[in-house]
Amino acid sequence: MDGTYALVTGAAGGIGEAVVRLLAEHGVTVAAVDLHHEQLNSAVEKWLIEGLPVRAYPADVTSSTEVDRLVARVEEEMGPLDHLVNTAGVLRLGEAHRLTDEDWAATLAVNTNGVFFTSRAVVNRMIPRERGAIVTVASNAAGTARAHMAAYAASKAAATAFTKCLGLEVARHNIRCNLVAPGSTDTPMLRGMHTARTAAAASVAGDPGAYRVGIPLGKVARPADVAEAVLFLLSDRAGHITMHDLTVDGGATLGV
């Protein structure tokens, strides 16, 4: 992958940050995209000190106009994109019948519309070049019901279906579209669901009252675990894999 170019959304923290680092360590020049300017710039400054080829591109993936301008700018300033990783995501918790209009709209705006806008902008540039690879970071909740996560699960299920349909349509252009579906991962999002001290333990133990079986491997994922799956699916080692959904959840959904 040395000498290629990638765009990663949600790059300022959690899984996105781990993806940026791993790609850059493998010689990929990365456009790191995030809405949170200060956090993004701080992360990129650290990577540049380490000699990693990363550039900061603050942007809001919920705006199709802004995304189109972003992708055009990245290709003009860096080079033709070989890879896209859709990592940007938000979580609004609440019982389905108590979710507000704003909860629902905000969740789908980032987790679904953001994937659509960014994938569309990038793939339209990949098609004439007859090459490319896209990975959308979805969730094991996309296919497994989770209490208090209806908006999140629905948004990730939509992103999953979209990415597979896109992969079907662009396969003839030698563009592969795959998914990584993490379970509980040691990120600010997980810690926001529990206290920082109990987040991992609660995920591993599960909750019979909420029909969560826990994690058979006895640990939550590290962001780097998910990033390794993304790297594989982008690489030539996965050159005959497309429309695949790779679950990285320590067995939490029992392989279903």
SS3 (DSSP) at 27: coil
What pairs with residue 137 in β-bridges?
180
- Backbone phi, then psi, for 143, in 5-degree steps? -120, 5
* Nearest in space to 41 (alpha carbons), one of 69, 12, 16: 12
CB distance 148 to 99 below 8 Å: no
Catalytic residue, candidates 5, 57, 152, 211: 152
DSSP 30-76: EEEEES-HHHHHHHHHHHHHTT--EEEEE--TT-HHHHHHHHHHHHH
Active site residue 5: no
Say how many residues make up the chain.
256
Query: What residues act catalytically?
Result: 152
